Chain A
Amino acid sequence: MRNSFAEAFHEAAARDPRLVMVVADISPAGAMDRFRKAFPQRFVNTGVAEQVMVGLAAGMAARGLRPFVYTIATFALFRPYEFVRDDLCYQNLPVTVVGIGGGVTYSTLGGTHHAQEDVALATSLPNMAVIAPCDPAETRAAAAYLASEARFAHGPVYLRLGKAGEPALTAAAEPFAFGKLRYLQRGTDVCIVGYGPILKNGVDLARRFEKAGKSVSVVSCHTLKPLDEIGLRGLLASHAHVVAIEEMSPHGGLGPRLKALAFDVRAACRLDTFALQDSFLHVYGSHAELLDAHGLSETAIARRLGLA
């Protein structure tokens, strides 16, 4: 995802001299390094200093540039949170905050590097939009949008990414549109909705439902804010069983929003929501092992749904 983002950014930045990248001591691997070499003046590394990363970007945006700030999600959002809030959101400046390693991607690095609550915190900020793509192609589409003229009509955006090596999920999907649900496949009985790379588990889960004779929709809810409420109401109304999966805190994410919407529309469907535990687990291992410890592996979800 990192490379797909950087490639799309580089392509756009080659056309638009206002696009600037501000990072805080994160390794500019692959495509980002090519951008840095091509446009050294427009690549700023603030070092291990995230407050000034955000402050610099705010100042540049106020003077007509289009900055992206970029580092590990915990340091892009949590460490400089009040700067994101005051400098970017309060002033409604068009800065994109890119957080790498959303959720528990950095599975061996411990809780200091886990962005378990980022979507809740980001969506609670006035003026902030939030996007969390599910695979490299969706990341590319989101990044292209975020570097486009249309995006700069509004203020700050938090872009939550994974890291590297995420599988393709959207090869047969509808086109990406900011603020709209994206169906990876359409069915009639069960709908699995989520965001971010964990949607891979949703796709696998769909195969289990299909083996059990169900017709299954899989939906990427890549834009968490503004949330596609019309789309979600439709999804609740048109499926007998809805399953939401998110690699995020059980508080303040898609699951609670869906439950609130379900109440509002008096939804008759079964609604199961799966999220990270509200806990620092102190477990180390692969990303898959961490997700399993949180009860979010595909088999753990299947077991809880009675499918395994």
Chain B
Amino acid sequence: MIPNAFDAAASRRRCLGYRRRILEISQQVTALHVAPAFSCLEILDAVYRGLMRPQDVFVLSKGHGSVAQYVILEDLGVLARADLDAYCTKTGRLGAHPDYGVSGISASTGSLGHGMGMAAGMALAERLKGTDARVYAVLSDGECQEGSTWEAMLMAANLALGNLVALVDVNDFSGLDRMSEAHPAFHPLPDKARAFGWETAEVNGHDAGAVVAAVDARKGGRPLFVACRTVKGKGVAFMENVPIWHYRSPNKDEYATALAGLVEIGG
């Protein structure tokens, strides 16, 4: 990776387009997980456009953010426009959670706390095969409440999986509550990862360039945990930090308001 090669302005333009496309898709279905997708868009853009090489693997552990991944895969030509137009319909192949076997999808997620273990297994497999492939996983902060995530984090550190990068979308919300209020001991998260033997970094998760830079700046030799501070529903003022948008789709009027309010999100 060439340092500073990541074009942050282009990333901001792409992410604005992805938000528009996600809102457009939201009009086809009653439930879309818009807010969880909006909080991780810049992280995913950083992974796909700034970090991934052809041999690398991506796992969206927070499967409910799938529409963010789908619009990027559409942009990259991995998924067709028709695939996204048939999102969550009988004739389509894309559901609300990623499904292993669909183009561009490397793991079936949706049940939280599964991605870290599978990503660690993938990283271990690549090491055993002698490749230089890296595995990138994007997790929600909520799924860091699952014990299985920490089982996997311990093993990833024990195995010194230097080819594993976990990016955590720290939007401070699970489905019901604000994490810092309902679960005050949850923070600080990077300290916990460090205590589990991981290299850690903390960045503004809506600054894709910063995400890329944090990964590029790693020392290596052990797995990297990047806590990405984000805002759930980022980009649509009335959705930001409002729990109902974890799941709901906007109605026609809300859609118009949301679309009109979208702007490029600065780094």
What is A's interface to B at a CB cutoff of 8 Å? 20, 41-42, 44, 46-47, 49, 51-52, 54-65, 67, 82-83, 86-87, 90-91
Contacts and interface: CB of A to CB of B under 8 A. Distances in A.
B241 interface: no
Report, nearest first, the 6 A-B pairs whose CB atoms are least far apart: A55-B117, A59-B121, A63-B125, A56-B121, A59-B118, A52-B151
A58 B165 CA distance: 18
B125 A52 contact: no
17 contacts: A42-B128, A47-B154, A47-B155, A52-B120, A52-B154, A55-B152, A56-B155, A57-B121, A59-B122, A60-B121, A62-B100, A62-B122, A83-B148, A86-B110, A86-B111, A90-B100, A91-B101
Contacts of B151: 46, 49, 51-52, 55
B145 to A, nearest CB: 14
A42 B124 CA distance: 10
Interface in B146-160: 147-148, 151-152, 154-155, 159
Interface residues of B, number: 30
B155 A64 contact: no
Contact of A55 (B57, B106, B148, B159): B148
Contact of A51 (B107, B119, B124, B147): B147
Interface string B87-113: 000000000000011000011101101
Contacts of A63: 57, 121-122, 125-126, 129
Given A59-B122, A63-B121, 10 more contacts: A42-B128, A51-B148, A51-B152, A52-B151, A55-B121, A61-B121, A62-B100, A62-B118, A63-B125, A65-B128
B71 to A, nearest CB: 23
A237 to B, nearest CB: 41
A58 B154 CA distance: 17
A49 to B, nearest CB: 4
Nearest to A52: B151
Nearest to A54: B117
B100 A91 contact: yes
B116 interface: yes
A90 B108 contact: yes
A20 B122 CA distance: 13
Nearest to A55: B117
Contacts of A51: 113, 117, 147-148, 151-152
Nearest to A59: B121
B210 to A, nearest CB: 28
B129 A55 contact: no
Contacts of B124: 44, 56, 59-60
